[in-house]
Amino acid sequence: MTPDYELLILGALLFSVGLATVIIKRNMIFVLMGIELLLNASVLNLVAFNRIHNDAPTGQVFGLFVIVIAVCEAAVGLAIVIQVYRFYQSSVPDQINDLKE
Amino acid sequence: MNAAVILHYFFLGTAAIATIALLFARNVFYGALLLLITLLSLAGLYVLSFAEFLAMTQILVYAGGILVLIIFAVMLTSHLNGKPLLIDHSNRLAGGLLGLTVFAMLTSLMVGQQQLQTGGNGEPISIMLLGRLLMTSYVFPFELTGIVLLIALIGAAVIASSSTTKRL
């Protein structure tokens, strides 16, 4: 077990837990946290592979871009969550089904 | 067993435990704090993987920015009756099975890889090279993410500030 290998296993754990969180939790903020976990798993994988192929820090460059996009996603997502809460008085995704009715 | 190895396993264990606890947490505020622990441990792992700049960005952006936003959203979307915001779980079986399956699939793909078993040569990565790459080869995506960030922040401010009518 090399350190790179353990980092990749942790990345897989973060990804699967994030995926399960998105499905299981009945709260939009928790769902956003799950998406953050998914993005962090990808950054961790980029860093781990950059550690194996360490002639140039290209993996870290892409990790920076992923973090910036995660910030954009979190800011817009939380703004939408607050606005949806104002409209429906609820933050449970299953109750927001006006299009279905 | 030097300090770097001990810290590596410490951060690895903390991140794994906090992540799994996040899956079972029912209080949104505790969930945010568990996410914070996970993100800070990941920053520690980045430092040990020669990604110091990425670790600083992680701490500044996630611990300083996104976590504050999440806690603000928790406070704005609770009913403010003094009770903690407890949430329900649904689709437990489907979500748990999907998570376990994806984890098993990813790890089983990694087990047989010879290159992962030997690992890298352990040489540090220069932070000077990272800055040079950002300003030469990747300068266009760098500027583009700056514009995307600006647009997203203006959009978030507009979305959150506009008042909508109540539901009928």
DSSP letter for each residue of A33-68: HHHHHHHHHHHHHHHHHHHHSTTSTHHHHHHHHHHH
Question: Is A99 within a domain?
Answer: no
Question: Is A100 within a domain?
Answer: no
The structure's pTM equals 0.89
Q: Is the Cβ pair B87, A63 closer than 8 Å?
A: no
| Distance (Å) of CA A9 to CA A19, A49, A52, B12, B104 | 15, 12, 15, 10, 10
Tens digit of pLDDT for each residue in A43-93? 999 998 888 888 888 999 999 999 999 999 999 999 988 888 888 877 777
The answer to whether the Cα torsion of A51, A55, A59, A61 is positive or negative is positive
Tokens of B32: 């945010």
Contacts of B111 (CB under 8 A, 6+ apart): none
Question: Is A101 within a domain?
Answer: no
- By Cβ distance, the residue of A3, A9, A20 closest to B23 is A20
Tens digit of pLDDT for each residue in B47-61? 998 889 999 999 998
The gap from C-alpha B45 to its chain's centroid, in whole angstroms, comes to 12
Whether A95 contacts chain B with CB within 8 A: no
Question: Is A98 within a domain?
Answer: no
**In B, which residues are within 8 Å of A19 by CB distance?**
95, 98-99, 102
Q: Is the Cβ pair A80, B133 closer than 8 Å?
A: no
Q: Is A27:B12 a contact under the CB 8 Å cutoff? A: no
| Distance (Å) of CA A4 to CA A79, B48, B81 | 37, 11, 47
Nearest-by-CA chain B residue for A30: B28
| Per-residue pLDDT, B10 | 94
The number of folded domains in chain A is: 1
